[in-house]
Structure 1
Amino acid sequence: MKHCGFWQTLRKTVISLYILLTSINQNSAHPSSKVVNPHPFKYILNNEALCEKRPDTLIWIHTAPSHIRHRMFLRDTWANPSHFRKRKVTLVFFLGLSLDDAIQDMIEYESETYHDIVQESFVDSYRNLTYKAMAGCRWMSTFCQTAKLVLKADDDMVVDVYLLFRHIESLQAKGRVLSNTILCDVWYGRYPERVSGKWNVSMAEFSEKVYPPYCPGLGIVMTGDIVGKLFYESLFEPYFWVDDVYFTGLLARTINATFEQLSSTVHFGSSRMVREQTIFKNQYQWIFYHIHERPIARMMWNMIYQREIFRLNQGLSPSA
């Protein structure tokens, strides 16, 4: 019972912050103050204490309920906070509700074991991915405000976090990536799909001819100050199911976010290059690796980690 007062205070703080985010105009102009896209979902699982040690970096993973092995792989490899020597890192997985009772039971057990899952009550589906992004923004704005950088990735990615943070530090030394910034492989001039099929976007869903500049959600980095602003703006921006366009396009446009281009850093993995360990032969500067085969992904991470250990043995300072 000795923690009762602490949790009561925390809940009051959460409620106050949520009211603040949803009621105060954060220097944003809206044709109407009417909320058109509320986020009414409840927490099914919420590990509120994840950021109690005040991390400076949040690794935010979008994951599907059934992807238990994906999450185990990430906990064991690049997203494990123990692999960071000079950053205070927290790992959190965001997901929606599973309609499979057996999977839901496994998720609850997983959360009790690792304490790194946040689950909201929307059904986890392809057309609900925007809700998942909103859930991440809402949660971080409430429970993890100390994070100055956010690395958001899908659960089938391998990220060279060492190269990534060396690059970010080089930009910060030049006065860039300090605030209101998104780093990613920025896509310009992309058109909505107007043909039938899974990716069809109707005129009623999106009436503009061209998407604004946006980031594919495989892997992006945001400065921490941007997250609360994105969540606030989402309340006034009509829901659009293409989550990448919605959050890093439409909402980022509203808050005048700055983009830092990482166009040459995404590698859609060649398993042969990884098996033969020639991935670094020509000094490639890839950061985000999209590799579906789990053994190949682990080989990729092992090479990244060993390269960092080699740097440390050479007397160089830690990369992250």
Structure 2
Amino acid sequence: MAIVSMWKRCCLTQDRDLICHIKTGFVLLVTLTLTLFVISCIYVVLFNPLKHPHIWFNPVNQTQSYNVLTEGSSGKKFVWNFLTTPQIFQTTTAQKNHISVYHHVAHPRNYHFILDEPNKCKQDPFLVLMVPVAPHQREARNAIRSTWGNESSVQGKAVLTLFLVGLTGGAEAQQQLEEESRQHRDLLQSNFVDSYFNLTIKTMVIMDWLATRCSQATFSMKVDSDMYINLENLMSLLLSPNTPRQNYITGYLMWNQNVIRNKKSKYYVSEELYPEPKYPTYVLGVGYVLSNDLPQKIVEASKDMKPFNIEDAYVGTCLKRLGIKPSRSPDPSQFRTYMKDSKGHDLSKVIITIARSPKQIIEFWQSVKRHK
């Protein structure tokens, strides 16, 4: 019995030692985990770039990959660094619920051209067509190049078509874009993040290019890449003796439009960005034509206008500040949204209409040509 008792006491001692070892190991593991967590937090704070909560309206946070030397509109030279892989942009709940933007972020002088065609307007074009398009949408650009963008003279007046893109997000995509630029000489690229929320920046960069590179043109037009244009009809409008050549902008007019306050809508604009309940009358951004004195005036007005992400309404607020009202077209039906069909009879009357695809731009174009 004494031997059994001694054996039991030995076993209890061993159990306590085992438990003690387990507890000690657990404490060491927890301590090590906490230490690594603290070190990780310190590294993120000290070494990672601070992400501004308003990233969707700011230039991209760039990781060095390769350099491009460019010259800004002021003549100052800049070196830009580009990513080797695409960046992912995340929007937090806080960003969605509280968006605040610095006053001058959308002003075009915050951005600089990476690809440029500064001598394109030396031949004094009468009309310059500026097409904002995403870098990857080469099919859309090619559809335009093979249709209305290929017309260099309409009714004896010189016409020029150029495409504007933002950052590609990667070295390979950038190299492809540069090759396309060398081939066609019709690409402009600026160093803003190319996204839906930055369409206001994109539009203001277009205005800046027109003001600084092509002020000698008589008219210009901002037109989306999914639009069909009948240049004969457009030129007839512009050559009409009743069409002003100063302080003139026309297209599909938007009257009495409410500002969208629903945070779930992609058209949402906060009261902080635009406090009024309604927008001033503006021209729908799918395509509007303007006398070419306006781009410089719009750029100047934008210096004092807080930017928001509805680009056509933003241009409308700049025009209101200038005391300029958009003009109603003599035939408003010529500025159409969608056509019911592609019959040549209907298309022969329009100035612009939305096409559903690059293929449909070509179909519309061919249909009009067949019915001439």
What's the TM-score bracket when you normalise by the shorter of the two chains? 0.7 to 0.9
* Overall identity of the aligned pairs, in %: 24
> Superposition pairs for residues 110-125 of structure 1, below 5 Å?
110-125=180-195
Could you tell me how far 1:279 is from its partner in structure 2? 4.3
1:45 corresponds to? 115
Matching of residue 280 in structure 1 with residue 345 in structure 2: yes
Could you tell me how far 1:306 is from its partner in structure 2? 4.2
Q: 1:128 aligns with which of 171, 192, 198?
A: 198
Give per-residue Cα distances to partners, 1:251-271, cap 9 Å, x unaligned: 111112242224322334446
Instruction: Tell me which amino acid in the other structure corresponds to 2:194.
Output: D
Gapped runs of 5+ residues in structure 1? 1-10, 17-34, 311-320
The answer to whether the Cα contact below 8 Å between 2:152 and 2:160 also exists between their aligned partners in 1 is no
More deviation, 295-304/147-156: 295-304
- Cα distance change, pair 169–258 in 1 and its aligned pair in 2 (3 A): farther
2:285 corresponds to? 217
Structure 2 Cα separation of the partners of residues 259 and 166 of structure 1: 19
Give per-residue Cα distances to partners, 1:274-298, cap 9 Å, x unaligned: 2xxx3416x9732212111333321
RMSD (Å) for aligned C-alpha atoms: 2.4
2:305 corresponds to? 237
Q: 1:56 aligns with which of 120, 126, 131?
A: 126
Give per-residue Cα distances to partners, 1:207-264, cap 9 Å, x unaligned: 10100001111110000111100111111111111111111x1011111224222432
Structure 1 Cα separation of the partners of residues 236 and 367 of structure 2: 17
Give per-residue Cα distances to partners, 1:81-106, cap 9 Å, x unaligned: 33535111221111111113332221
2:268 corresponds to? 200
Structure 2 Cα separation of the partners of residues 179 and 298 of structure 1: 33
2:225 corresponds to? 155
More deviation, 196-205/132-141: 196-205
Give per-residue Cα distances to partners, 1:44-70, cap 9 Å, x unaligned: 111112112121211111111111111
Q: 1:141 aligns with which of 211, 217, 225?
A: 211
Give per-residue Cα distances to partners, 1:130-170, cap 9 Å, x unaligned: 11111111111111111110121000100111112212323
Matching of residue 295 in structure 1 with residue 353 in structure 2: no
Answer with 1 or 2: which has the greater Rg.
Answer: 2
Runs of 4+ in 1 over 6 A off after TM superposition: none
The answer to whether the Cα contact below 8 Å between 2:281 and 2:325 also exists between their aligned partners in 1 is no
> Superposition pairs for residues 10-21 of structure 1, below 5 Å?
15=74
Matching of residue 188 in structure 1 with residue 188 in structure 2: no
Matching of residue 95 in structure 1 with residue 165 in structure 2: yes
> Superposition pairs for residues 253-272 of structure 1, below 5 Å?
253-262=320-329, 263-270=332-339
The answer to whether the Cα contact below 8 Å between 2:228 and 2:365 also exists between their aligned partners in 1 is yes
Could you tell me how far 1:36 is from its partner in structure 2? 3.8
Could you tell me how far 1:299 is from its partner in structure 2? 1.8
**1 or 2 for the larger relative contact order (CA 8 Å, sep ≥6)?**
1
Q: 1:251 aligns with which of 318, 321, 338?
A: 318
Matching of residue 105 in structure 1 with residue 175 in structure 2: yes
- Cα distance change, pair 149–227 in 1 and its aligned pair in 2 (3 A): same
More deviation, 66-75/39-48: 39-48
Structure 1 Cα separation of the partners of residues 304 and 147 of structure 2: 38
The answer to whether the Cα contact below 8 Å between 2:348 and 2:368 also exists between their aligned partners in 1 is no
SS at match of 2:350: coil
Instruction: Tell me which amino acid in the other structure corresponds to 2:333.
Output: S
Count the aligned residue pairs: 272
TM-score of the pair, normalised by structure 1: 0.78
More deviation, 179-188/84-93: 84-93
1:7 corresponds to? none
The answer to whether the Cα contact below 8 Å between 2:167 and 2:192 also exists between their aligned partners in 1 is yes
- Cα distance change, pair 136–294 in 1 and its aligned pair in 2 (3 A): closer
Structure 2 Cα separation of the partners of residues 55 and 81 of structure 1: 12
The answer to whether the Cα contact below 8 Å between 2:226 and 2:357 also exists between their aligned partners in 1 is no
Instruction: Tell me which amino acid in the other structure corresponds to 2:345.
Output: F
